[in-house]
Amino acid sequence: MDGKIFNSEGDYVAFVRAGAIYDLSGHKQYELKGQKIYKTTGELVGHLNSTGSDQRLDRSTDRLFPTTRTRRLVGPGLPK
């Protein structure tokens, strides 16, 4: 299941190719098995909501792919 991943606010944050999730720089970040997202160590870290070939992150899973907007809100010196 290849496609784009959007966060809960609709921002394009990653893509899926051949069972792996890559950030927008092309670096492999996670493994995808079904709708479940795993670290490369095998630890379950979240899941996706499917809408055809495009995937949407749950609000609780947004933290896996911080956007410029969320980085600004949780910047240095601010509580997380």
Q: 71-80: per-residue pLDDT in tens?
A: 444 444 444 4
**pLDDT > 60? residue 1:** yes
Domains of the chain in sequence order: 3-64 (2.40.220)
Q: 6-41: per-residue pLDDT in tens?
A: 888 888 999 999 989 999 999 999 999 988 899 989
pLDDT computed for residue 29 by the predictor:
93
Q: Which residues sit opposite 14 in a β-bridge?
A: 5, 23
Cα separation, 29 vs 32, in Å, equals 10
C-alpha separations of 41 from 21, 37, 44 in Å:
14, 11, 9
Which helix (H) or strand (E) covers residue 73, if one does? helix 68-73
What is the value of pTM for the model shown?
0.72
